[in-house]
Every structure is written in structure tokens, then in C-alpha cells.
Amino acid sequence: MRKFKNWLVVVMLISTSIIFAQTKLSGKIVDETNQPLPGASVVVKGTSSGASSDFDGNFSFESSVQSGTILVSFIGYESKSLTFSGAKNFGTISLSPSAESLDEIVITQTSFAIERKTPVAVSTIKADVIENKLGTQEFPEILKSTPGVYATKSGGGFGDGRLTLRGFNSENVAVMINGVPVNDMENGRVYWSNWAGLADVTSAMQVQRGLGASKVAVPSIGGTVNILSKTTDVERGGSVFTAVGNDNYQKYGVTISTGLMDNGFAVSASGAKVKGDGYVDGTEFEGYNYFVNISKQLGDNHKLSITSFGAPQRHGQRQNRSTISKYRNAESEIKYNPDWGIKNGNVVSVEDNFYHKSQTSLNHYWTISDKSDLSTALYASWGTGGGGGTAGNYDLFKVRYGDYDQPIDLDNIVEINRERGQQGLGAESYLRASRNDHEWYGLLSTFKTELNDNLDLVAGIDLRTYTGKHFSEITDLLGASYVLENSDVNNPNRAAKVGDKRDYYNDGEVDWQGAFAQLEYATDNLTAFVSGAVSNTSYKRIDYFQYLKGDPLRETDSYDFTGFSVKGGANFNIDEHHNVFANIGYFEKAAGFDAVFQNYDNEHINKDAENQKIFSVELGYGYKSEKLKADLNIYRTQWDDRTFTDNFTEDGVNYFVNLLGVNALHQGVELELVYKPTTKLTFNGMLSLGDWTWDSDVKGAQIYDESNNPVGDPIDLYIEGLKVGDAAQTTLALGVEYEVMPKTYFTIDYNYFDDYYADYDPNDRTSKGPQSWKAPDYGLFDASIRYGFDLGGFDTTLTARMNNVFDTEYISDAIDGADPLVWFGYGRTFNISAKIRF
């Protein structure tokens, strides 16, 4: 691993070491709010010389003529012509929204799709929409009006939101920030509480459904969510903001920028604090977020930019679902939470989450020539924290201050533990936390060159190394001075205290090496691409508790698994209004970490874990005119050999089963509309009809004991025809925005969800049974009003939002059963905010 890290540094140094002084045309392109416009086109009239702006809005290229005119254009904005004579830096070029086309953003960075060019289904959301509509919602919920997306607050704790795309959960949806992947390296999950501050620093976010335009080595199954953070602001200045909302929600923060200084440096920074009691009982929270970007222009051809951000937070959680009848009879009704208690008169979140994950990236942009450029990102992420829970005698945590719906009586446990202490005994029950600290380093480098007027080659490498440190630690002994701990074979029967490790302690090491290449063909009306990628994933496990220090089993070998992808697609613009596209792809994805180390030890290793196999095809049609924009697409994704493992213990013996042949078929149709009858009125609409089912039964799944010996007869799983659970397969959205007067907008959104089947474990379907429980359909209205005005010479915006205006009661998440376990969604909530720009 050390050699790999050193190699990353060497590659970065090589890529930044050569600087050529060339005569260039350069500048920066922004919109009417001074936000960069990535992907804007700059062309010298009468020549083929030109470039596209990067995600900072910057462009730089060599002109083939000494004087002339450049044409700056961006879909949805008025074009602008500027003259030059000799080398020239045009400075900041501001484009205004076009009255003849719809207001939108299209981005042409390596992982962003371009409308009417990239042949994928895509939806893009700009920063002003996020600022206007998000309010106190979870960050993924800003996407709930996007086709194929189902986003909920899960248990309702701050940052606990989740997102599925076309029926695939976060493990199978790639999430990237500025093109850098952030899915957990071991299990692929995305923990949105780690990114709770993203809403404040997002310039735009794009959802690419299906194969997507991402050029990381292996694509995701469901799609890609790429979040583009704000970079260095164009002008000197900043803003301050504050917000208040239901349940004592408070947030305030500041952003400041130096603008481009004479020495070529530019710095932007922002920070914020948020806190509140939480809508759900016992989910108090407090969090911070920070963001800093430092950029330096090195001549006309090179730019260095370093960005760092994070969001340390702690919040109470509702981890456990309850039956519908329990909510009905609870004093707090849908706010009922069984996972919190009272100790010495203070609220204690028995189940909580605390984490700080930072991400820092050093980006180098090199314009090699008017035909070639290289973009390199060297990044690092450090995470520390975990989730709280209970340990010891769990029955003591069932004692409440009254009925079942009241807080846990932690004072009772304190009294019991103190009495035990007088007898020389340790804690009977106490609180612990499951920790998952990590270090993650990576390098993503993309080279692009123009082979001829119509053909480009894009190629790159995607390198990552990750170490996850997993352990459980004692957080509160609840009146005791120690607890007897016997899980570490190197130190048995020890008196463990607060902060000591318990139960388990191991590291998971994951290395990833990937390479990709893509040919892109483009004419005036036709664009097409074909690409291939290959990756190698290496897994290693080190266990500090289950094996003695000298035991060779303490550290495993590295086990390698290869994945690859092949995909292609084309888009044809029939005329200025109509276009059609198609894409097709096949890829194999390496099994996850847990599928290799199946029994949470270093002995039961599945060296031949089966690759997951995915085949996807999609067809799409688009229409665009002055007032109407419509996109229609159909898709079919076949997912074979989905990784499923199960571990269980009976009579002190550990068993595991590895299931092969678990196949799923996800198919559907999606429609997205924007209609703008006047410059002041905009209608939005979306309809997504999915049909996601398990494709076949599984025959002959063998159970093994802890010695890897087969136990009993193979079992069959009966899942054919069962609907994939945990996401609404039918969704609809309608929205309207009206400009009441300049800088004042009123917005109403309606979202409808149906065909939500409760989640279940296919491993449990050992006999033929009914379809999973189907939750009632529901619809929600949200509304907001944004008022802009001048306050003493400062641009000021007031925004008021209300979500679930009619206080609709609905079930957002469920687990299948005779009496399903559910989470109810939030009732009516509100938020009022103010921002002053200076």
C-alpha cells in the first residue's frame, strides 16, 4: 500500500512539472448570478479553434489566427461575441438567460452529460433551485421530483436520508463530488450525514440514470449522482445567511471570497452551524460544515486548485421501525421513537450517529495544446466516528418511564450498575458505539485529445487505496466503573472502561486500480461513443481481537477481483427540436468485501466470489422548442448473480450461505416535461413507471458451518416474480413557478408515490409465499416563496418554505411481515431563511 501511495504522489508531480508558455485566448464564463458556467462553448469565428469551459467556468486555448472574434455560447443563454487582436485574457464574461429557450445548465466535464449530445437520460438541478426548495429536507430529497428517484428521511434523524435510483439502493448508485467517487470502498453505501453541508456549497448536481456518462473505471448499476461544488467565486465579496424552522431548527453561516488577486491567487471559504430538536422524538442534532477553495493560475496553460470540505455532526437516530398500531397508540403518534432515553433529567440518544468525513482534492488542469488537455485530481478523505447503541443485558433497555412509548429509563440502569459496583461487579448494561474510521487516498486523471475534426479520444486512470478501521467502543458505563470484556484473545477477562474497544476490532484494506478509454465521434447532428474500462479490486482483512499477535491468520493475503465494462451509445439531432438516443452496455462488478470474508473472520474466505453481471439498454427521445422541453426514455437492466450472503448462529455454531443465481430485472419508462408559456410562468412535470422484479428462483443454496463444511441439504429460495422492495415503482411530480414581480417567485410542487413494496431479505423466502406488503400510495404538496430586494445597497433574499402543506400522513419505509414494521414520513414542516450578499 505504501508503494501505491508513493506512486500516486510521483504521478501527480510528473503531471504538474511541465509548464509551457504559449500564446492563448483565455477567460472565465459566468451566469447572471456570477456562478461559473461549466461546458460553455468558445469558438473563433471562421476557424475550428475553440474550447469548452471547465467546471470553474475557465477556458484557455491557442488561436490559429492573430485577430478576430470569439463566439461564446451556452444552451439556455444569449450568445456573446467579443473581438481580439493578439493574445488576450477576456476576464469575466457574463451570459444572460435567453428568452427563446428554457433556463437550464449543461456541463461538459468528464463526468457530466451534455443535453442533445450525451446519449443518456439526465436531469440537472442548479444551485438556486436547491436554495429555494430544500429547506429542512434531507439533501437527497431535492431529487424527489426526478424520474426514477425515491428519496426518504429513513428514520428521521438529521442526515439519515436515503436515495434509490430505478429501484437500486445507494450501494449500486455512484455518487461523485466534482467527479471524485464517495461511495464506501467496502460496501458501496453512501452516508448522507457525512455530507450534510453539501447544500450550501453545491453549484449544480446531475442525475444520470442508467449507464451514465461517468468515466470512472466501472459504472454503477442504477445511475450516477454527480455533485459539482462551488469553486472560487468570480468577484470579491460574500454573503451571510440565517434560517429558522420547526422544532427549534436554527442555521447560520457566512461565505467570503477574495476574488482573483493580482498575484494570481483566489480564495473562497464558507462555514455554517446548524442545530435543532429534530421532528422525531429524541433526535436532537448539532452540526457544522466548512468549505475552502484556493486556486492559482500558472501561466496560460496550467491551473492548480485545492478544495477541502466536511461536515462534522452528531444527531440522535430512530433506528428501529415499529408496527402501525404502536404509532397509532403512542402519545407522540408518528413522531414516536423507541431509541432514546432520559438520564438525570437529560435526553440521551441511545441510538445516535457522530461523524466527520473530510474530503480534500488537489486539481491540476493542463492545456497541452489547442487539441489536448489533461485533468488530474489527487484526493484524500479521512473519516472518524460511528453510531451508538446498547450492550449487555438488553432487557434493561425495555424499562420505560411509563408505557412503551415513553423514553427508556436509563436512571434505572444507573442504579442497578451502582449496586453491582458495591458488590465488586462490572456493568450489566451500558452504551457503546460501532466505529468505522477510515483513510482513503486516490488519483483520477483524464487525458483528452482531438484526433481529427470529428473524433476525440478520452483515456484515464482511476486509482484508490482505502483502510477502514472497524471496532466497537464503550461510550457510557451508566453508573458503573468498568465492564468485564472477554472478546480480545490477547487480553481476556479485562476490566474495560469508557473509550476502550470491545466486541470486535479489525481493519479492512481495499485497493482499486482502474483504467478507461473512450472514443467520441461528433458532427453537427450526430454524436456517438464507445468505451471500455477494466478494474482490479483487492481485499485484505486484519483482525486484532480474534487471533493472537503471532497467529499467521491474524492478517490475510490480498484477494483480487477483476471487473470490466463495455458500453456505447449515440445521439442524433433530427432537427433543432427533435433528438433520439440509444445506449447499451455490459459490465461485471466485483463482489463486495463481506462476500469475500463471509463470517466476519479470516478463515472463511470466498476466494472465488462471483462477479455480479449487468446488462443494460436504453432508448430515448427529446423535444425542445421555445416554450416546451420533453424527454421520454425506456430502459431495461438485467442484474445477474447479485451478491447475497447470510450469516447466522444456532446453538453456538456459526453458519453462512453464499447465494448465486439471484437475478433481478429492472425496466420502465420515464417522462420529464418543462413548459414555459411566458417568461414569468414555468410548469414542470415527471412520470416514472417502473417494473422491478426478482427474475428467478434459486435452487440448491448450500449452508456451511464455521469449518467450511456443508451442513444439511441445499435449500431453495422462491423469489421469482416478487417485486423488488424498498422503493416506489410509480412516481409522479407536478410543479409550477411564477414570477410575481422581479426577484420574487412563488413555487408549488406536488409529488405522488405508489407501488411501494416493503423491504425483505430474499434469503428468508425458503417457501412460496405472497407478494411483499404494499404500502398505501400518497401525495405531498410543498410550497415556497422567494423575495429578493435591495437592503442598504446589499442584494438580499428572503425565502419561506413549507413541506407537506396539508399534513398528509404516509408511510415512507417498511419491512415486510404479517404486521409490517414501518417508518412514517414527516408531517407539516416549515423553514424561513434570509441571505445578504455583499
Render pLDDT for 130-159 as a digit per residue (tens, 0 to 9).
888 888 888 889 999 999 999 999 999 999
Q: Which is more confident, 699 or 225?
A: 225
Cα–Cα distance list, 341 to 275, 344, 345, 499 (Å): 20, 10, 10, 21
**What average pLDDT does the segment 239-267 reach?**
90
Q: What pLDDT was estimated at residue 38?
A: 67
- Please tell me the predicted confidence (pLDDT) of residue 100: 36
> Does residue 196 belong to any structural domain of this protein?
no
Is pLDDT at 611 greater than 50 in this prediction? yes
Tell me if 765 is assigned to some domain: yes
**Domain that includes residue 28, residue range:** 20-101
Higher pLDDT, 670 or 195: 670
Domain endpoint, select from 42, 74, 101: 101
Would you say residue 461 lies in a domain? yes
Share of the chain above pLDDT 90, in %: 56
CA pair distance 108, 131, nearest whole angstrom: 23
User: What is the structure's pLDDT at 410?
Assistant: 97
Q: Which residues of 482-493 are buried (b: 16+ CB within 10 A; e: fewer)?
A: bbebebbeeeee
When the pLDDT of each residue in the chain is averaged and rounded to a whole number, the result is 86
CB atoms within 10 A of CB 284: 20
Of 305-314, 595-604, 717-726, 800-809, give the lowest mean pLDDT range.
595-604
Percent of the chain with pLDDT over 70: 88
Contact indicator for 826, 153 with CB cutoff of 8 Å? yes
pLDDT band, very low/low/confident/very high, at 9 (cuts 50, 70, 90): very low
Would residue 728 count as lying in a domain?
Answer: yes
CB of 323 within 8 A of CB of 314? no
Comparing 244 with 87, the larger pLDDT belongs to: 244
pLDDT for residue 54: 65
CATH number of the domain encompassing residue 331: 2.40.170.20
Q: What are phi and psi of 15, to 5 degrees?
A: -70, -15
Question: Average pLDDT, stretch 470-480?
Answer: 97
Q: What pLDDT is recorded for position 125? A: 84
pLDDT digits (tens, 9 = 90+) for 781-812: 999 999 999 888 888 999 999 999 999 999 99
97 with 236, same domain: the answer is: no
Q: Please give the residue that has the higher pLDDT: either 430 or 641.
A: 430
Residue 216 lies in a domain: no
Find out whether 808 and 780 touch, Cβ atoms under 8 Å: yes
Residue 258 binned pLDDT confidence (cut-offs 50, 70, 90):
confident
In a domain, 136, yes or no: no
Residue 50 maps to which CATH number? 2.60.40.1120
Mean pLDDT of 43-65: 72
Per-residue model confidence (pLDDT) at position 105: 33
Q: Look at residue 203 and tell me if it is in a domain.
A: no
How confident is the model over 379-427, as pLDDT tens digits?
A: 999 999 999 999 999 999 999 999 999 999 999 999 999 999 999 999 9
Q: Per-residue pLDDT averaged across 172-194, rounded?
A: 85
Domains held by the chain: number: 2
Give residues with Cβ within 8 angstroms of 585, minimum separation 6.
Answer: 211, 219, 565, 566, 567, 568, 614, 615, 616, 617
pLDDT for res 96: 74
Instruction: Tell me the three state secondary structure of residue 253.
Output: strand
**Which residue, of 63, 84, 101, is where some domain finishes?**
101
| pLDDT tens digits, one per residue of 737-763 | 999 988 899 999 999 999 999 999 887
What CA–CA distance (Å, rounded) separates 186 from 171? 10
Q: Is the pLDDT of residue 822 over 60?
A: yes
Amino acid at residue number 744: T
Q: What is the DSSP letter of 104?
A: -
Q: Tens of pLDDT along 505-528?
A: 999 999 999 999 999 999 989 999
Cα distance between residue 774 and residue 470, in whole Å: 36
**pLDDT for 20:** 36
Residue 112 lies in a domain: no
**pLDDT surpassing 70 at residue 375:** yes
The residue that leads in pLDDT, 769 or 314, is 314
H or E, element range at 89: strand 88-94
| β-strand partners of 560 | 538
Q: Out of 98-112, 429-443, 713-727, which region has the weakest mean confidence (pLDDT)?
A: 98-112
User: Looking at residue 803, what is its pLDDT?
Assistant: 96
Q: What is the pLDDT at residue 108?
A: 36
Whole-angstrom Cα distance, residue 463 to residue 321?
A: 39
**Range of weakest confidence among 339-348, 588-597, 706-715, 827-836:** 706-715
- In one-letter notation, the amino acid at residue 335 is K
pLDDT at 231: 64
What value does the mean pLDDT take over residues 304-330? 95
Average pLDDT over residues 276-280: 97
What mean pLDDT do residues 207-232 have?
A: 75
The three-state secondary structure class of 86 is coil
Average pLDDT, integer, range 659-666: 79
**In 393-487, which ranges are E strands?**
408-409, 429-450, 455-476, 483-485
Q: For residue 773, how many other CB atoms are within 10 A of its CB? A: 21
Place of cell 499477535: 549
* Cell numbers for 171: 450501494
Would you place residue 5 in the very low, low, confident or very high pLDDT band (cuts 50, 70, 90)?
Answer: very low
- Domain stops at, among 101, 116, 137: 101
Q: What is the pLDDT, as a whole number, of residue 643?
A: 64
pTM: 0.85
Helix (H) / strand (E) element for 422: namely helix 410-422
CB proximity list for 269: less than 8 A, separation 6 or greater: 255, 256, 257, 290, 291, 292, 293
Instruction: Indicate whether 10 pLDDT > 70.
Output: no
Give the model's confidence band at 286: pLDDT under 50 very low, under 70 low, under 90 confident, else very high: very high
Which grid cell sits at 460?
484515464
